[in-house]
Amino acid sequence: MDLWYPATGPFDRDSLLDWIVGHAVPGLERTDRETATTVRLLDVGRQVAVAARLEADGVRVRVEELAAPERRRLDELVRRWFDLADDPRVLDEPLGRDVLLADRVRARPGLRVAVHPDGWQAALQTVIGQQVSLAAARTLTGRLVAAFGGDGQGGLRTAPTPEALLDAGEEVVRGAVRLTRARARTLLDLARACADGLRLAPGEDAAAVRERLVAVPGIGPWTVDYLSLRALGERDVFPASDLVLRRAAGIDDARALARRAEAWSPVRARAAGHLWAAAVSSPRAPGG
């Protein structure tokens, strides 16, 4: 099937492509900046390989034939993943009047704030990537996928399930990925919470998800905010403790930046997106 998903309003393909390429995990995804294409597995009721090409005004997707419920699920995932539904000109109108953001909004009128198509995968990479570079986070997550994931279509890997990590145990996971003891323990505690029913997906009770995440030892405010934005799709969250956001805003104190960000409600996630996009030439994790 060859499917077309038009974007509402202007479409900043390049910034979105920067985010996708910058966060692509070896084994889980294949990305090609030259062709603006990303290939990965998506769960539409079963795992299917999806090739998405970013074009000037939307996203073209190639996938095998799907049953009607699978197609509806794919439509939902793609539109949310690439943030295609809303017109950024409308959302950015108040941000464009803010002295800190005005130039950035003018520079990227079609900015999109992507939501990861698999919240569990986003959580794995986010927890592994705490306090290391984005490149290191991708490498470490790739090791996790290679060691504990499964084989999927087209030579792609599936992410390890929470149960697979729990079965392997902390020491085995730590040794295979080369994590610190504290990071491995956090990863396993998160896996246990997800195995016990925690779901990281749009439509979940965001407050309840945040409460359960905070209860995981080693998960702090940045991780909770970031996953609220990238996994739950919350549009009014701002990870003020993020190093890249603080540098981009020129406000080093996280609490001061959080107070400054109150003026950007109810679209604080877009404010974060504009600040991250402006700093993309040297992405680091935390960030983006």
Contact 127, 219 (CB under 8 A): yes
pLDDT of the residue at 282: 39
Burial of 103 (0-12, 13-18, 19+ CB in 10 A): exposed
Model pLDDT, residue 280:
72
User: Taking the C-alpha atoms of 111, 157, 197 and 116 in order, what is their torsion angle to the nearest 10 degrees?
Assistant: 0
pLDDT of residue 279: 85
Per-residue pLDDT at 146: 97
Could you give all domains of the chain from N- to C-terminal order, each with its CATH number? 2-85 (3.30.310.20), 119-234 (1.10.340.30)
The span from the CA of 113 to the CA of 277, in Å, is 10
pLDDT, residue 131, reads 81
Contact 101, 209 (CB under 8 A): no
Q: What is the predicted pLDDT for the residue at 288?
A: 63
CA–CA gap between residue 72 and residue 16 (Å, rounded): 23
Grouped pLDDT means (10 residues each) for the chain, 288 residues? 97 95 96 97 97 98 98 98 97 97 96 96 95 92 97 95 98 96 97 97 96 96 96 97 95 97 98 92 46
The residues, any chain, with a CB within 8 Å of residue 149's CB and separated by 6 or more, are 27, 28, 157, 158, 159, 160, 164
CB atoms within 10 A of CB 43: 15
Q: Per the structure block, which two tokens stand in for 136?
A: 């290191």
* Assessment of whether the complete model's pTM goes beyond 0.75: yes
Our CA angle for 227, 231, 233, nearest 5°, is 105
HSE-up of residue 246 (Cα within 13 Å, Cβ side): 17
The residue with tokens 């145990």 is 169
Which of 76, 70, 28 is closest to 45 using CA atoms?
70
HEC profile for 215-256? CCCCCCHHHHHHHHHHCCCCCCCCCCCCHHHHHHHCCCCHHH
